[in-house]
Structure 1
Amino acid sequence: MGSIECIATLLGLACVALAARRSLWTFPCGIASVTLLGIVVFEARLYSDALLQAFFVVANVYGWLNWSRSTDAEGAVSVKHMPASMRLRWLAGTLVASLVWAAFVHRFTDASYPIWDALIAGTSVAAQLLMARRRIEHWWLWIAVDVASVPLYLAKQLYLFAALYLLYLALSVWGLIDWRRAARRAARGIVTD
């Protein structure tokens, strides 16, 4: 385990914990973490994952700007649920895009586990975009990503990242609970956390 992997891991944990608490500081931690993680997974020939980390840099900037405009007087970021029809569109779009990407990566690279890697990448893209848009359902996607990522990283002998995704799983469950609680409070007109 290298120092880049360790630093990426610590920053990643901070990022998810801050996201669960709806803190704007999640984004600078996220940018630093995914930049370092991108280096590690590229060297492990997980090209979909490496490209995903580059996307995350851009998505974190977008999320930072969006969340900055969506805070209340106390600094809390408002969150909301998606309508059922929007959930179905996101699910279908994520699945199709992931499978198209998997076919491309399988055909044109020497990627390890191209379908598995692409499904994780596609779901992560959807989750990150929904997080930037403050949609509670993004936590369910992160939970799925975390569950799928642990065995992939174990197969690639990236043990610290596998452990990290177990911690991400716990933090994602916490984030889901916290965001749902915040949405219920907002619906009842309670403004403070």
Structure 2
Amino acid sequence: MNFFDINHIFFELWGVKMSFLEFYATLTGLIAVVLSTQENVWSWIIGLINVALAFVMFYQIQLYPDMFLQVFFFITNLIGFWQWKFPKEEHVNLKNELKITRLSMQQFFIYSLVGLVCTFLLGTFAKNLSDWLPQLFSKPSAFPYMDSFTTIMSIFATFLLIRKKVETWWMWLAIDIISTYMYFVKEVKLYALLYAAFCVIALIGAINWTKEYRKTI
């Protein structure tokens, strides 16, 4: 059977079947996020592998906004690696990499407002995909608005991660809570467990980055 087939089972644990695709998407995603909380620039490289595997998986379980999001993530992983590794001179930390900063209140308000508007637009688009393109999307989108919220906010959170803003981890915490629920319901339970772990990791990341930020002010 094909390695990239969600039905190609790697193992079964406690009655839950785990495909090769889901297992390795989970593993690479976990490694990449843990490295990010430590400001490790190689998190972006591991992330490239993760998003390629996740793209294939999301297509097969009809989470189309999440699928499209992986294309964005692939590009931003390349940009993130470059931004962290080779920042402008005025933005370097003691390791000669990009330093941690925060958003202003005005910036945070704008991000939030634009995010909600884009969530509505993408959710409406995802909801109608199976009607507009039935040959390509034979099943309706699962959780179109909820999935669209995590998709849009993931885009914003990724930009903030590239720029090393403390607020990125609070955004990821909200995203991860919602994603945990969606993946559990869609029966990719190891991926749901991964996102439950991401909730804890996001909280740790927020604490670590806040401490590092305070050292610079």
Instruction: Please give the range of the TM-score, normalised by the shorter of the 2 chains.
Output: over 0.9
Count of paired positions: 187
Q: Name stretches of at least 5 consecutive residues in structure 1 with no aligned partner.
A: 188-193
Contact residue 23 and residue 76 of structure 1 kept, 8 A: no
Contact residue 93 and residue 99 of structure 2 kept, 8 A: yes
1:141 aligns with 2:162: no
Amino-acid identity (%) = 26
Within 5 Å, give how 1:19-30 maps onto structure 2. Answer: 19-30=36-47
Please say which structure displays the higher CA radius of gyration. 2
| Counterpart selection for 1:87 from 108, 119, 128 | 108
Q: Name 2:23's counterpart in structure 1.
A: 6
| Counterpart selection for 1:101 from 93, 97, 122 | 122
Within 5 Å, give how 1:47-66 maps onto structure 2. Answer: 47-66=64-83
Q: Name 1:190's counterpart in structure 2.
A: none
Deviation at 1:48, TM superposition (A): 0.3
Greater than 6 Å deviation, 4+ residue runs: none
1:180 aligns with 2:180: no
Higher strand share: 2
- In the alignment, the residues of structure 2 paired with residue 111 and residue 186 of structure 1 have an alpha-carbon distance, to the nearest angstrom, of 45
Give the TM-score, by structure 1 length. 0.93
- In the alignment, the residues of structure 1 paired with residue 31 and residue 212 of structure 2 have an alpha-carbon distance, to the nearest angstrom, of 20
1:72 aligns with 2:89: no
| One-letter amino acid matched to 2:52 | T
Which structure carries more relative contact order (alpha carbon 8 Å, separation 6+)? 1
Give the TM-score, by structure 2 length. 0.83
Higher helix share: 1
- In the alignment, the residues of structure 2 paired with residue 57 and residue 14 of structure 1 have an alpha-carbon distance, to the nearest angstrom, of 16
Q: Name stretches of at least 5 consecutive residues in structure 2 with no aligned partner.
A: 1-17, 131-139
Deviation at 1:159, TM superposition (A): 0.2
Deviation at 1:108, TM superposition (A): 2.3
